[in-house]
Structure 1
Amino acid sequence: MNRREECFMSKQIIFKSVFAPYFNSFLQMKEQLGFGLPKFQNVFTELDHFFLATGATEPHITRDQINAWSETRFNDKARTLYDKHSIMRQFCRYLCHLGHECYIHRLPRKNWPPFIPYIFSHKEMELIFGASDKLTLPYRCMTSVLIAVPCLIRVLYSTGMRIGEALFLKNEDIDFLRKHILLKRTKNQEERLLPICPSLLEVLNKYKAYRDRIPIKGVSASGSFFFVSTVGKPISKNSIHRWFSEILVECRIPRRNDGQGPRIHDIRHTTAVHSLMQMVRDGMDVYCAMPILSVFLGHKSLAGTETYVRLTQEMYPDILGMKYPVTSSVFPNNPYIETDHGNN
């Protein structure tokens, strides 16, 4: 078990309901398959409290129990509730597989509006890089993640990786000689290789040189985390989110009215839009650009990447010729699209 997982497991609440051993074995199974545990742990904690409060004594779940539990989640947003029902459904199927009969319910309808990410302009990204370089601690603190923030933000923008993927990087995952980064733990549980451009290589080398000066044993070991705090500990997402909020304030990039961003994850969306824009500007056919972008982002299919075509067209309407079926399927009513309904 790695250090980050040890941290998660050390914070794990001990389950007390009749389902406790099944919660633990389910989590162990998911861990062995390469899934992240926190989301499952949070839902199981809620379920454990619910089953304790309702006096469940048998390890099987009925339709009435699922409905009663669902009624207690009235404050959850539609997307959050959907995810929780998905985990509940997986757990019920798991119990059935073990011989404990459970009701397998249907998932709620996906009735939430599509989320529109914030796409930073090139100028805003320059401001973000500059602000990250000028960050300072407001007070003396022995433990800080500030040393990693400037490099981390540039890694996110250059590679399009998710923040969780970046924070999980080990020293051995970054090949400075061959100039690539190996992502071992990804959202889709599939490894992928990302190139390191010359400017990013310079940033990585500079960060590594300063980080290796930290008088902590093993900080440069191959199996240690690449991004660490000043005491050599792994960095949490919350710490990065807080500093990123400071950067946005410094850059005078306002919060959205819905309170949903800009987020640090929007750097990934920005990378996708900027990359697609650059490929098309360089003369690459969108048919060729889309599969490349899809692999680069680690999507399982083009469907997960098509959103970026729409975002690129909205922000840079002069970029795409808008004569391609792959884009016309995203913009069925766009007047700039020329579609021949006679050809299928």
Structure 2
Amino acid sequence: MKRHFDTQTEQHLLGEYLAHLAHRTAELQGERIRRTCEEFRRMQLGETMLLKTYSTEWVLRWIQGTGTELKHAVRISRIKAVGRWWAWLFQNSFLDDNVLACFYPCSQVLRHDEPLVLWQNLQRPIACYLEERGPRQLESRRKVSRLLINFNVFLHRNGRQTTDRGFIDEGHLIDWLRHLSETKCLHSLTLAAETTNSFLRFLLDKGHIDENPLALLRRRYSATRWDHFLAGFLELQDARLQPAVPVPRSVSCIAPQLQAFVDLKRAMGRRYESSEAILKGFDRFVAGSSGAKTTVTKEIVDAWMESLGHLMFRSRKRRLRLVRQFCLYLSREEADAYVPESTLINGRDPQFKPHIYTAEEFRRLLKAALSLPARRGSIRPMAIHTALLILYGTGLRVGEALRLRLADVDLMNAMLTIRDTKFFKSRVVPISGSLTEAIHNYLNERLKASASSEAFLFLNDRGGRYSTDKFGEIFRSLLVSAEATAASGQRRPRVHDIRHTFVVNCVLRWYREGADLQAKLPILATYVGHASVLSTQEYLKATPELLREASERFECSYGSLLDLEANGENR
């Protein structure tokens, strides 16, 4: 974005910059910058140099004009002074372009005879990327910053001048990778390619580009690792890339109805991603059984169920339920469509019992979290500790907690905003005073890394957010350290069981307070983000604690009647 400045604004911003410097430094730097500004205005007929922060053309004209009368050391000191001033203006968002920052040090601009014009500058997006997703370690941050600055310069020196959103295309990325391969080993090249891909994904997320050409290029080949892809694509080793085999789409005669069924489910507010994958697998089985013209028959369903024999009972039951729902959908249009019976799978569904963490167990988990190994300066132990507190104190899904951004945390009003969760819903979750204090203590350290409102609340050591898989891996290590084990015959404790624990603890508290559970359950369902009270009731398995509290409440309400019957007074 090119801003509009005049000489009065230029002098005002220069004064603000000099005001934050030491007195002697301000005098020296101010004199160098003012003289350069005056010489620039004489060259540009009264214009301010702040209008040309995106181009080095003026530097070349200055060197060929007034600069020829100056010693080389004086020219360097002048350019360095201007570069520091522009860097301060950029850091404080007065500028979005600082072409001198593309040279390291900025005096290197004096050595280049070819002008650099940032016609589609990425400097501000790079700064935002580093703030939100860049590494926390200072040295790693500098390396990533330098790489992306070089990428920005490479695009402008080798690309065509355009303001289109598609200014980064596949050809640019291939040339960039080849350029990197000339000076980097495979390991360094892999890190550079991963960083470039991460930055392009950031640009895509922010709407700066319409597609990520590097990701699209990689998907065309079967290599799953970046180093294998780069070695094969750039012919760095003997490796050879094989074209990726596309996953077959719906191919049978029921494909249009299947897609309509999936679209209907999504219109009802369901993501339906894993279910769609199961149904498309069934569709391919139908086509492969007797050709593309075959419809769903009892024989095909039986054969399909037989092919699922290696799966667990619950998985087979779920797949049958999905196919049965689809067949019911087909039967609305075709009265003779086959609908499999729900009892097609015989056997008793083993009752799943979640692990309800005791207060002592969870204290040990929190203690283990604070003892996690971490690099110097890392807030990893504190981040995991605070995330566990949020899960335990709010019952959030683990993905909801890990996707929280700084803008979603309102400590003043003690609330968390949960955005675009399951069923595409958003909700506001009030939090307790103790949890508010814990988050506040964590933020005192967290904000040292990044204060952008769009940055994630929980950052890993690379500056990105924790994935649910990585968090689950860390949690399983905490279970071992805390010696938290499941009862005999039950599955091992999971992260999601913290959510079950929260629901059970709420109901237990209401039991003890004598509250009306029928009135409270809808409130609890809304708080935890369930679609209906029925979903919440699934969490209320018959745990010993709930049975004991229910028995005590029954005893308090109807115990006198039972005593009368026992004494024969009410026959």
Would the TM-score normalized by the shorter structure come out above 0.5? yes
Give the TM-score normalised by structure 1.
0.72
Q: Which amino acid in 2 is paired with 1:322?
A: F
State the Cα distance separating 1:123 from its structure 2 match.
1.0
In structure 1, the partner of 2:417 is: 182
State the Cα distance separating 1:33 from its structure 2 match.
4.5
- Gap change, CA 1:123 and 1:315, over 3 Å in 2: farther
In structure 1, the partner of 2:248 is: 15
Q: Which amino acid in 2 is paired with 1:134?
A: S
In structure 2, the partner of 1:321 is: 553
Number of residue pairs the alignment of both structures matches: 320
Which range moved further: 80-89 or 55-64? 55-64
2-structure distance, mates of 1:252, 1:97: 54
1:119 aligns with 2:356: yes
In structure 2, the partner of 1:72 is: 307
Deviations 1:85-121 (A, max 9, x none): 2222344455667889853333347831322221111
Counterparts of 1:220-231 in structure 2 under 5 Å?
Answer: 220-222=452-454, 225-231=456-462
Indicate conservation of the 8 Å contact 1:18/1:56, yes or no: no
Flag the structure with larger Rg: 2
1-structure distance, mates of 2:423, 2:528: 11
SS at match of 1:310: coil
State the Cα distance separating 1:159 from its structure 2 match.
0.7
Candidates 162, 168, 189, aligned match of 2:397: 162
1-structure distance, mates of 2:431, 2:437: 10
In structure 1, the partner of 2:509 is: 278
2-structure distance, mates of 1:176, 1:170: 13
2-structure distance, mates of 1:253, 1:202: 27
- Gap change, CA 1:29 and 1:303, over 3 Å in 2: closer
In structure 1, the partner of 2:270 is: 35
Deviations 1:241-262 (A, max 9, x none): 2111111110111245446221
State the Cα distance separating 1:267 from its structure 2 match.
0.9
Counterparts of 1:88-103 in structure 2 under 5 Å?
Answer: 88-92=323-327, 102-103=337-338
SS at match of 1:54: helix
1-structure distance, mates of 2:501, 2:495: 10
Which range moved further: 206-215 or 68-77? 206-215
1-structure distance, mates of 2:264, 2:373: 43
Counterparts of 1:230-245 in structure 2 under 5 Å?
Answer: 230-245=461-476
2-structure distance, mates of 1:240, 1:336: 51
Indicate conservation of the 8 Å contact 1:192/1:298, yes or no: yes
2-structure distance, mates of 1:213, 1:309: 43
Q: Which amino acid in 1 is paired with 2:248?
A: F
2-structure distance, mates of 1:98, 1:18: 20
Deviations 1:113-168 (A, max 9, x none): 3222211111111111111122125xx7xx99766422221111111122233334
SS at match of 1:82: helix
Q: Which amino acid in 2 is paired with 1:260?
A: R
1-structure distance, mates of 2:563, 2:305: 45
Identity between Structure 1 and Structure 2 (%): 25
State the Cα distance separating 1:75 from its structure 2 match.
2.2
SS at match of 2:543: helix
- Between 1 and 2, higher relative CO (CA 8 Å, sep ≥ 6) is seen in 1
* Unaligned stretches of 5+ residues in structure 1: 329-334
Deviations 1:169-199 (A, max 9, x none): 4444433333222334444555443211122
In structure 1, the partner of 2:500 is: 269
Give the TM-score normalised by structure 2.
0.46
1:82 aligns with 2:317: yes
Q: Which amino acid in 1 is paired with 2:470?
A: S
Q: Which amino acid in 2 is paired with 1:272?
A: V
RMSD: 4.5
Indicate conservation of the 8 Å contact 1:132/1:247, yes or no: yes
- Gap change, CA 1:91 and 1:305, over 3 Å in 2: closer
Candidates 353, 367, 373, aligned match of 1:130: 367
- Quick check: which one's helix share is greater? 2
- Gap change, CA 1:92 and 1:286, over 3 Å in 2: closer
State the Cα distance separating 1:30 from its structure 2 match.
4.6
Q: Which amino acid in 2 is paired with 1:80?
A: S
Deviations 1:59-92 (A, max 9, x none): 7433322221111111222222222122223444
State the Cα distance separating 1:297 from its structure 2 match.
3.5
1-structure distance, mates of 2:527, 2:561: 27
* Unaligned stretches of 5+ residues in structure 2: 1-200, 206-210, 225-245, 565-571
Counterparts of 1:146-157 in structure 2 under 5 Å?
Answer: 148-157=383-392
Indicate conservation of the 8 Å contact 1:180/1:193, yes or no: yes
1:310 aligns with 2:542: yes
In structure 2, the partner of 1:331 is: none
1:246 aligns with 2:477: yes
- Gap change, CA 1:47 and 1:273, over 3 Å in 2: same
Indicate conservation of the 8 Å contact 1:181/1:194, yes or no: yes
Counterparts of 1:181-220 in structure 2 under 5 Å?
Answer: 181-187=416-422, 190-214=425-449, 220=452
2-structure distance, mates of 1:336, 1:186: 48
